[in-house]
Structure 1
Amino acid sequence: MRVIAGLVKGMKLKSPKGLETRPTTDRVKESIFSMINPYIIDSIILDLFAGTGGLGIEALSRGAQKVYFIDSNKNSIEVIKENVKQAGFEQESIILFREVQKAIKECSLSENKVDVIFMDPPYLKGFIVPCIHAINTEEILNEEGIIVVEHDLKDLLPDQIGRFIKVKEKKYGNTRITIYAGEA
């Protein structure tokens, strides 16, 4: 697992030991960023279920302004801190050890809305729809913002969740990437 492009291209990322974290493969990460590249420059990113921090670090490497890394696993938080430090992105990163729903609520208290939300929750555990409903309720995503969800192929998501409409979907082996944007 490595950073694919940008300032720290080629940097290897550390992963937590064990099977609790399933890092995004380089192939899937490359595909995600080719789909959303115009949204990245100078953006504020929320990386939910951040795991290794790979998606957020990739975004920073490609020119994002700031990333909020959220995870409820202490091992993942330690790995994210190490990876962010190794990449030299401490100033652009906020790393929070939080349950995701609480983090979404906290984000609503901030004056700054986010531009891109990455969600890579544990597969087939039912986290996606409730999180997107919370994002909708708390209004933390800019009107032009997007939600990028990495999930299991068997996890079929609805075409609309709150004000968010499915705008793109791609399959990669057992993984599916679904992108939601706000209703116009």
Structure 2
Amino acid sequence: MEKKMIETERLILREMTEQDFDALFAVLGDPEVMQHYPNVFDETKVREWIHRNIERYEIFSFGLWAVVLKETGELIGDCGLTMQQIGGNIKPEIGYHIRKDMQRKGYGTEAAKAVIDWAFTNTPFQILYSYMKHTNAGSYRTAISAGMKLVEEFPDKVNGITKVYAITREEWIALKKESILCSVETQSQL
């Protein structure tokens, strides 16, 4: 049984299952989507990816979740919270992969914002990170759109140069207050 974790205006984020293989392979096996990774995922790596996230749910109660269109039920990628080694330290990281034909529609940002909200509501983390290869403009635009700021750049063997974006709990709270104020102002103008 699928466990729904997060619901947004257009998306449902839920735990991955083995039945998600074909849809995830369409994302992680796509050379364009994975161009900033060391390798495109083959079938074995996609199966390992699903199993690793299922283990994460059991250990941490979070991981990368399947991103599903609410309207159609179609899986279009993944997004979630994982513990990653960033610059030599293990840090909570927001990661995301969206199928090529679904990119540039705001789904990555919508999912990332929802995961940030979930993480600050359900974990004690005081700061969340997102890291990527310096050439991955789509990924860092998503991080910025989700409220993150560039906090570090460093050379590494895998990415050449890695960019690290972050948002603190205090910054998230300020963004939430600002969003509520904007919503109230809009309502009063109607």
Q: TM-score, normalised by structure 1?
A: 0.33
Structure ID, larger Rg? 2
Q: TM-score, normalised by structure 2?
A: 0.32
